[in-house]
Amino acid sequence: MGRMTPDNAERAAVRVGVLTAAIGGVLTAAPARVGPLMGLTDRRATRIVGLTDLALVPGLLRGRPRWPWLAARALLNLTIVGYAVVTARRNRRAQVAAVALVAATVSDLGAMSALRSSGR
């Protein structure tokens, strides 16, 4: 697999922004219902994650440069994974969500690197 181009990385950042908006909105609006699916068992913590997601959306969609916003998103993903691992050890859905977040973070870091290298 080749290195991501800056244009593809820009599109990836927008996709991440749209997805982050949707996830942040759902976590904020329905923390008790959606949070446990991701291993977020505390409503307040789930809302904080959702609101943090929503705070990142403008930068992911329109930020200049965009790479710091992808870095912040990656950091939030890893924080969620850590929280889920500690609080939901036996929750299979939470484990699957954590693996998906790690995979998404690896992809996001590739886009972040391409954007940073290009000054975007």
CA distance 114 to 29: 34
- What is the total residue count of the chain? 120
Q: Give pLDDT tens digits for 17-50.
A: 999 999 999 999 999 999 888 878 889 999 999 9
pLDDT of residue 2: 59
Contacts of 10 (CB under 8 A, 6+ apart): 66, 115, 120
**CA within 13 Å, CB half, 66:** 27
Contacts of 19 (CB under 8 A, 6+ apart): none
Average pLDDT over residues 64-92: 87
Q: Give pLDDT tens digits for 87-111.
A: 767 777 788 888 899 999 999 999 9
